[in-house]
Amino acid sequence: MQYISTRGRVEAKGFIDTVLMGLADDGGLMVPAEIPVVAEATLQKWKTLSYEELFLEIFSLYINDEIPIEELRQLVSRSYSSFRTPEVTPVHQLNDSLYILELFHGPTFAFKDVALQFMGEFYSYISKKQNKIIHILGATSGDTGAAAIQGVRGKEGIKICILHPHQKVSKVQELQMTTVDDENVLNLSVKGNFDDCQRVIKELFADLDFKGKYHLRAINSINFVRILAQTVYYFYAYLQINKGDQLPKINFCVPSGNFGNIFSGYLAKRMGLPVNKLIIATNENNILERFVKTGEYKPGEFKSTHSPSMDIQVASNFERYLYYFLGEDTAKVSAYMQDLQQNGKITVSQEDLAKVQQDFAAYGASNEQCLEVIEEYKKTYDYLLDPHTACGIAACKAQASEGEVTVTFATAHPAKFDEAIRLVGITQQFPPQIEHLFTLPQHQKVVEHDKAEIVRELEAFYKL
């Protein structure tokens, strides 16, 4: 298995080098040169596997034996030992046509833990093997940062700096990141929004001297290993609810911000998972919905919503999808991405739009709808949804047809977003791991949205 850049100007790489590269050196994103296809008979065999066994099967298709299987098994076992359930991502059935895939049973109560617990173990493994310090740099709208910090806090050979938008994450998200007092962690609270944070990160990764000097590594979903780790739970969910001989097609409905989670579903489908519709759920920051409906990808005005992790305008994984849907034509991808940079938008032809609409459906829930759904599902099913999952349910209602079975992703635990839950008059009991955060001191540095200032902070941190 070789990996190439969506912009075609990077030499093909193996798995470990791809992960270490993060953002491709030509500014594109790394993708597998060929997507492996899983036969139906193999899918049938996978039905009896545990989550960890399934992870090993899927990763074995992608890692070229670069990590000996026993060592990989240990990494995976350590990664998921921190989850509160052995199933890692259990499925909860609400009715005949709707299942919830609970992705919030990891240490920071969000889906990001599933990939980032593994990445923490992986980076630690590589740092030891190569005897090199790893400097992780990431941007977050709340969940990635908390999960990434939790995955590497206190680990030798690793330093991590996370940029989050100042006062634009939930209180619990902020506490999860900033109450960590390990010396290898730096939190920069940037006066701006998530897109500003992500832009700075991408610029720093594109500065190859800076990247090389400090061995910068990415934990965001620009890193292909994040995407791959997330495909595992699509397979797992599917196999949990289809234990019989049949392999019917089902829908997946995914709250989406940076397009990484749903792109993992696209990859799973290309690998042969019987997927009917991939439904993109967004909030009022609905660039992805507008793209799927009109063919125009154009960042709009940033809005703060009840689902802050999805308050994103520029979805970085969109480029990976462009690559596949444009027929793996790297020249076309480069031209489209240049268009986005120079003219602020990408417009695809009507013919191409029809292809997009075969791959995805999309729906952006308003703030009101989000709260209405939380209230309705609490009353009807006694099930408390977090606001991102509620946007997912709203999208499922709008886009799934009668007779179809849909798995909607519960991407976070409601305790992370109590600000929204309280608005519908519900008082929830926090899990003790979250409750105790309110008693701890916070460590963060508030900075301007200014690349030079951020670089100064980083260099000072790296010298410590």
Rounded Cα–Cα distance for residues 173 and 141 (Å):
9
Our CB check for ligand LJ64HWYM shows the closer of 282 and 399 to be: 282
List residues binding ligand LJ64HWYM (CB under 6 A).
140-145, 220-221, 257-258, 260, 309, 316
Looking up tokens 């991407």, which residue turns up?
411
User: Is 202 noted as a catalytic residue in this protein?
Assistant: no
Our CB check for ligand LJ64HWYM shows the closer of 5 and 141 to be: 141
| Minimum separation from the CB atom of position 198 to ligand LJ64HWYM (A) | 7
Residue type, 421: I
| Minimum separation from the CB atom of position 341 to ligand LJ64HWYM (A) | 19
Our CB check for ligand LJ64HWYM shows the closer of 32 and 165 to be: 165
Our CB check for ligand LJ64HWYM shows the closer of 221 and 369 to be: 221
Our CB check for ligand LJ64HWYM shows the closer of 29 and 407 to be: 29
Nearest to 265 by CA among 317, 315, 327: 317
| Minimum separation from the CB atom of position 21 to ligand LJ64HWYM (A) | 16
| Minimum separation from the CB atom of position 145 to ligand LJ64HWYM (A) | 6
Active-site position among 112, 155, 211, 277: 112
Rounded Cα–Cα distance for residues 280 and 399 (Å):
9
Our CB check for ligand LJ64HWYM shows the closer of 235 and 259 to be: 259
| Minimum separation from the CB atom of position 201 to ligand LJ64HWYM (A) | 10
| Minimum separation from the CB atom of position 43 to ligand LJ64HWYM (A) | 27
Neighbouring CB atoms inside 10 A of 351's CB total 8
3-state secondary structure the chain: CCEEECCCCCCCECHHHHHHHCECCCCCEEEECCCCCCCHHHHHHHCCCCHHHHHHHHHHCCCCCCCCHHHHHHHHHHHHCCCCCCCCCCEEEEECCEEEEECCCCCCCECHHHHHHHHHHHHHHHHHHHCCCEEEEEECCCHHHHHHHHHHCCCCCEEEEEEEECCCCCHHHHHHHHCCCCCCEEEEEEECCHHHHHHHHHHHHHCHHHHHHHCEEECCCCCHHHHHHHHHHHHHHHHHHCCCCCCCCEEEEEECCCCHHHHHHHHHHHCCCCEEEEEEEECCCCHHHHHHHHCEECCCCCCCCCCHHHCCCCCCCHHHHHHHHCCCCHHHHHHHHHHHHHHCCEECCHHHHHHHHHHEEEEECCHHHHHHHHHHHHHHHCCCCCHHHHHHHHHHHHHCCCCCCEEEEECECHHHHHHHHHHCCCCCCCCHHHHHHHHCCCCCEEEECCHHHHHHHHHHHHHC
Our CB check for ligand LJ64HWYM shows the closer of 218 and 271 to be: 218
| Minimum separation from the CB atom of position 309 to ligand LJ64HWYM (A) | 4
Our CB check for ligand LJ64HWYM shows the closer of 255 and 295 to be: 255
| Minimum separation from the CB atom of position 190 to ligand LJ64HWYM (A) | 13
| Minimum separation from the CB atom of position 320 to ligand LJ64HWYM (A) | 11
Neighbouring CB atoms inside 10 A of 403's CB total 7
Our CB check for ligand LJ64HWYM shows the closer of 211 and 416 to be: 416
Q: Are 239 and 38 in contact (CB under 8 A)?
A: no
Listed in sequence order, the residues at least 6 apart from 427 whose beta carbon sits closer than 8 Å to its beta carbon are none
Annotated active-site positions, please?
Answer: 112
